[in-house]
């Protein structure tokens, strides 16, 4: 549904919204004391992912100067790298300190929001030049 919406109406700052939802999901997960709250956290993180990826894929393509395969490769390497590092980070940060240590990992999406703000500005300017 998100991809269908953003295909019709580009959202240059949607990555920031996605990371905000990710932060809320991480906060819920860090404080979850029942299965229901874990499901709520997973739902929030899933919604964040569905908001983040359509526009991010489009931005990667635009930044690649039309080299679609290169853009997709870089986009996937970034995502797969993050997926590969996540268990290692959890093992070294969360397991020794407990569930609440997930909040330490919020620094990553906070930094990502700062980067996304600048990317969103570039993307918005690029969209305005097209029309």
98: left (phi over 0), alpha (psi -120 to 50) or beta: left
**Segment 47-96, tens digit of pLDDT:** 999 988 888 888 888 778 778 888 888 888 888 998 899 889 889 988 89
The answer to whether residues 55 and 11 touch, using CB atoms and an 8 Å cutoff, is yes
Domain housing 38: 2-130
- Report the distance separating Cα 86 and Cα 122, nearest Å: 29
Number of domains in the chain: 1
3-state secondary structure 72-102: HHHHHHHHHHHHHHHHHHHHHHHHHHCHHHH
Between 40 and 102, whose confidence is greater?
A: 40
Separation between Cα atoms, residue 61 and residue 44, nearest integer Å: 26
> Is pLDDT of 27 > 90?
yes
Structure tokens at 114: 């700062």
């Amino acid at each position: 549904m998100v991809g269908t919406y953003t295909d019709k109406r580009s959202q240059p700052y949607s990555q920031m919204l996605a990371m905000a939802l990710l932060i809320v999901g991480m906060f819920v997960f860090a404080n979850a004391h029942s299965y229901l709250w874990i499901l709520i956290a997973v739902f929030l993180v899933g919604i964040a992912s569905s908001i983040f990826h359509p526009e991010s894929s489009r931005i990667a393509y635009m930044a690649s100067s039309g080299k679609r395969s290169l853009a997709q490769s870089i986009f996937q390497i970034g995502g797969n790298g993050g997926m590969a590092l996540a268990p290692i980070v959890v093992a070294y940060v969360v397991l020794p300190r407990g569930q609440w240590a997930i909040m330490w990992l919020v620094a990553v999406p906070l930094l990502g929001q700062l980067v996304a703000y600048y990317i969103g500005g570039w993307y918005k300017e690029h969209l305005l030049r097209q029309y």
